[in-house]
Amino acid sequence: MNNEGNEGNVNNVDNLKNTENFIINPENLTYKISSKKTNSIIKSFAELYFYYYVEDMENGAGKGIKKFKKFILNEEMTNNYSKKMYWLENSLNRLMEVYGTLESINNFEFMKLFEEDAKKIYDESDNWISFIYDENGDLKTYELLYQLRLAFAELYNQYVIKNDISKEFDLQDSKYDIYKISSKKMDSKIKSFAELYFYYYVEDKNATKGGNGFNNFKKNVLEGDIKNNGLKWLEDSFFRLAENYQITDENKIKNKIKNKNKNKNNLKLNYDGWLEFISNYEGNNSIYAKYELLYQLRLAFAELYNQYVSKNS
């Protein structure tokens, strides 16, 4: 058992033991996904894998939160599609090896990963197929992997906040509140995203891949990614905010700040928030609605950039 790099408190796993394998009850897991729309199977996998990788020193990987951030959030979850699928299949198998066979798993939704009620495309005996295809036989892994990415970000943030690990995760509200969108007709969620992302990318050097300065913002975001990579950039950027900041349903940023802005922050940084963010006022999240969102973001970023230049010139 490799305990290298373990940080933070470790749950007492003695009360989870069975004679041969663990029988994990979800109530025994400290960190839980709050999103209502994340697939229940993804929730169960994410919560158990987080426990296995971060906390379980006796039977799991037990490598701690810093290695989870480095190797899972910022390596495995950012790999290309085929590598992520290879990692996911191996991880599923590993959890089954550590916490029990199909017969010994009891009272835990994770077993749904291996039910055989989905349409089988290749091999009716392959339980893996039931996970990657929906009931119509359509491949669903791309969306599921993005749900998993946001689920891991939420669990990571919960751990950081609960264990008060370091001030390096704090959001400096004095700078966050400086630059605000003036448009009256722009969707409030787009405003919230633009303002937080601008702070993240330009100012926040403590955030993962943040604090790059306004010159790089103009070059890489305004004139680069948002035009050239579009929706892929949007997914990655939403994930980066979810990884570094946690906004709750009560519209407060939890990372130790007092939100001085009297207007409610309507952005939720989980999968529910993502679905709301990419939908327009009518609840439409078609490709056309997403491109309208990107255009509004370009205008919002241009305004924030110009405010920054004017204020700092």
Q: What is the 3 state secondary structure string of the chain?
A: CCCCCCCCCCCCCHHHECCCCECCCHHHCCCCCCCCCCCHHHHHHHHHHHHHHHHCCCCCCCCCHHHHHHHHHCCHHHCCHHHHHHHHHHHHHHHHHHHCCCCCCCCCHHHHHHCCCCCCCCCCCCHHHHHHECCCCCECHHHHHHHHHHHHHHHHHHHHHHHCCCHHHCCCHHHHCCCCCCCCCCCHHHHHHHHHHHHHHHHCCCCCCCCCCHHHHHHHHHHHHHHHCHHHHHHHHHHHHHHHCCECCCCCECCCCCCCCCCCCCCCCCHHHHHHHCCCCCCCCCHHHHHHHHHHHHHHHHHHHHHHHHHHC
Stated pTM of the model: 0.76
Per-residue pLDDT tens digits of the chain, which is 313 residues long: 333 433 333 333 333 333 345 556 666 788 999 999 988 778 888 998 999 999 999 888 999 999 999 999 999 998 887 888 888 878 888 887 887 643 434 434 444 443 433 333 334 434 455 555 555 656 567 788 899 999 999 999 899 888 876 544 444 444 566 789 998 888 888 999 999 999 999 999 888 899 999 999 999 999 999 988 888 899 999 999 999 887 544 334 444 334 444 444 578 899 999 988 888 655 565 656 778 889 999 999 999 999 999 988 7
